[in-house]
Amino acid sequence: MKIRLERAAHCRSGDKGNTSNISVIAYSPELYPFLKEQVTAERFRQFYTGVVSGKVTRYEVDGLHSLNFVAEGALGGGVSRSLCLDNYGKSLSSRILAFELDIPDQLTSLLKGND
Amino acid sequence: MTLRIGAGSAWWGDRISPAALNAEKGDLDYLCFETMAEATVSAAQVRKRRDPSFPGYDTWLDDRMRAVLPACLKRGTKIVTNQGWINPDGAAQRIVHWLREFGARGVKVASINGGLITDRVLELTDTILENGQPTSTLAPSLVSAEVYLGAEPIVEALRQGAHIVVSGRVADPSIFMAPMMYEFGWDALDHVRLGRGNGLGHLIECGAQVTGGYFADPGFKDVPRPWDLAFPILEVEADGSAVLTKVEGTGGIVNLMTVKEQMFYEVHDPANYLTPDVVVDFTTAHLEQIGPDRVRVSNISGKPRTPTLKVSIGCTEGYIGEDMFFYAGPGALRRAKLARQILEERFKLVGLDAEELRIDFLGLNAIHGAMTPPDAAEPYEIAVRVAARTTTREEANKVGREVDGMAVSGVGMTGKRVPHQDRTREIIGVWSSLVARDRIVPSITMIES
């Protein structure tokens, strides 16, 4: 079944200069392989088109069922130079919550929220 | 022996009452404060230039110390803090003032200097990390430069008997790890334990971000009584494992989710998190919920520290002019769009010379910008928010002046406020470089109450 990522994972973004890192953390270990398989660096970058101007690197932390995306050129030139109201990009992580994830029906009970 | 280390702040503007609560109810051996953002030092230098009476340390120093000193003195809790900003000696003297006010005599307060290298930065550094250019290109706009010091000078101050240690820029996790190094006798080159300690420091350096702050999402991640969050406490063992918790009976939550989110916060490669003391590897960490609001953290790894320290270089980089006005009800968006067109034409007429101009519809696309889905629903209320980055203050001022014009010369039913603050601000850009570790020699000054 297709779900929004927000039902399978939680996120947080942090800033360093002009780079934003966005963690995507599975709500349960069983959901993690589907995140790892589908939320690739390339698809992540496409999802942030128009905001992330540089390279996206994905780090995998299998032991903690987490992905960490490092998006360069995501903060409008850097926190102090950015013209974005959210100049720290604190709300950037919420964008990936809308990512469409395909998971097996039998994992439905592990999901948060409702469609 | 279990060492109890509590967080007292995660940034300059943080709440003060949770620090007092940690001092009073946390049974702490150490209370540690982190109060600096990337541009704090440069902003303080600019302010000092304009206002010579600005003391150059945390503007909340008095409030924070008044809130925690009585309980810390009673319990014997030591304090480590980076509230010194550009004047650690002045901060130490002010802390001594408060100690005497509270009747405490003979309490040793150490200040740490040596990290401010503004006058030497061009000879000590070569390359700007962000763009590969020589740091000498920053000479005309240089405001301030500081090294991210590690835990070692704090440990040395504690060895010399300091009860309170106040520094300028020290890497955030190092502030919280220094007490572990001192109390457990960890060697500065023991990368195994320092990796664990720095990892733990990273988990609590952002205060409530690990106890339920910056976390709640109703129906997905619920937080009990989110209006009453506590700051975190670490119960650290000599091997560098710990339990992360908070004062009982407070709001908020400590669980595997809050700890994981904070673990990756502002981290790039989780296997190589660079600090002045050590390279932390979070990928091996074990997390276990061992009770309500109690998470055991173990097996974080460390690798030997790098031969260099990070330098942060603040430069003046022009100005931002910014303002907003409002629409509501049926047709809010179409009026906002006309307002945007008027502003764009006005900026041509007045010859606005901007490096970048941005006009957002707050409520629709001001936060996610170009990522906003094209089919996003039209909101009931919209703020038109305009911002421009310019090289001169005069140009930036045009933004506010043109928004003023929208009051009587703009679109029907425009909501407009009288400017309640300066709508032009100076930009301090922050660049990074590296300096050889052996070129930086911190110094310690000890005074007594």
Is A15 a residue whose pLDDT tops 70?
A: yes
Is A114 a residue whose pLDDT tops 90?
A: no
Model confidence at B104, in pLDDT bands (50, 70, 90)?
very high
The answer for A 14-53 residues in CB contact with B (under 8 A) is: 14-19, 21, 23, 25, 27, 47-51
Pull the structure tokens for residue B369: 């910008």
Q: Residue B333: phi, psi to the nearest 5?
A: -70, -40
Model confidence at B418, in pLDDT bands (50, 70, 90)?
confident
Is B417 a residue whose pLDDT tops 90?
A: no
Average pLDDT over residues B138-147: 96
- Please tell me the predicted confidence (pLDDT) of residue A115: 63
CB atoms within 10 A of CB A7: 19
- Domain residue spans in chain B? 3-114+149-306, 313-431
Model confidence at B39, in pLDDT bands (50, 70, 90)?
confident
Q: CATH number of the domain that A95 lies in? A: 3.30.70
Model confidence at A29, in pLDDT bands (50, 70, 90)?
very high
Is B42 a residue whose pLDDT tops 90?
A: no
Average pLDDT over residues B5-21: 97
Average pLDDT over residues B392-409: 96
- Please tell me the predicted confidence (pLDDT) of residue B421: 80
Contact residues on chain A for B287, CB-CB shorter than 8 A: 64
Quick: pLDDT tens for B238-296.
Answer: 999 999 999 999 999 999 999 999 999 999 999 999 999 999 999 999 999 999 999 99
Whether residues A68 and B217 touch (CB distance < 8 A) is answered with no
Q: Containing H/E element for B337?
A: helix B332-349
Mean pLDDT is lowest, of A25-34, B146-155, B421-430, for B421-430
Whether residues A14 and B264 touch (CB distance < 8 A) is answered with yes
Residue A81 belongs to a domain: yes
Share of chain B above pLDDT 90, in %: 96
Whether residues A61 and B270 touch (CB distance < 8 A) is answered with yes
Mean pLDDT is lowest, of A76-85, B1-10, B433-442, for A76-85
Q: In chain B, which residue's Cα lies nearest the Cα of A7?
A: B220
Strand order in the sheet with A19-26: A9-16, A19-26, A66-71, A56-61
Residue A39's nearest CA partner among A98, A114, A108, A104 is: A98
Residue A95 belongs to a domain: yes
Share of chain B above pLDDT 70, in %: 100
Is B316 a residue whose pLDDT tops 70?
A: yes
Provide the residue range defining the domain that includes A83. Answer: 2-103
CB B430 within 8 A of CB A17: yes
| CA atoms B363, A44, A23, B280: torsion sign | negative
Q: Is A113 on the interface with B (CB under 8 A)?
A: yes
Q: How many structural domains compose chain A?
A: 1
Quick: pLDDT tens for B178-201.
Answer: 999 999 999 999 999 999 999 999
Contact residues on chain A for B215, CB-CB shorter than 8 A: 12
Query: Is pTM beyond 0.90 here?
Result: yes
Whether residues A50 and B358 touch (CB distance < 8 A) is answered with no
Whether residues B283 and A25 touch (CB distance < 8 A) is answered with no
Q: Containing H/E element for B324?
A: strand B308-328
CA-to-CA distance for B374 and B372, rounded, in angstroms? 6
- Please tell me the predicted confidence (pLDDT) of residue B396: 98
Is B416 a residue whose pLDDT tops 70?
A: yes
Whether residues A63 and B270 touch (CB distance < 8 A) is answered with no
Is B169 a residue whose pLDDT tops 70?
A: yes
Angle (CA) B23-B26-B27 rounded to 5° is: 95
CB B297 within 8 A of CB B285: yes
Across the interface, which of A18, A80, A90 has its CB nearest the CB of B427? Answer: A80
Average pLDDT, chain A: 96
Model confidence at B38, in pLDDT bands (50, 70, 90)?
confident
Residue A32 belongs to a domain: yes
Is A46 a residue whose pLDDT tops 70?
A: yes
- Please tell me the predicted confidence (pLDDT) of residue B339: 98
Q: Is it true that domain B313-431 has CATH number 3.30.70?
A: yes
Is B9 a residue whose pLDDT tops 90?
A: yes
Is B420 a residue whose pLDDT tops 80?
A: no
- Please tell me the predicted confidence (pLDDT) of residue B440: 97
Distance (Å) of CA B227 to CA B134, B224, B230, B250? 48, 9, 10, 10
Residue A113 belongs to a domain: no
Q: Which comes out higher in pLDDT, residue A7 or B45?
A: A7
Model confidence at B172, in pLDDT bands (50, 70, 90)?
very high
- Please tell me the predicted confidence (pLDDT) of residue B49: 87
Model confidence at B376, in pLDDT bands (50, 70, 90)?
very high
Q: Where are the alpha helices (DSSP H) in B160-255?
A: 172-184, 191-204
B335 three-class SS: helix
CB B107 within 8 A of CB B124: no
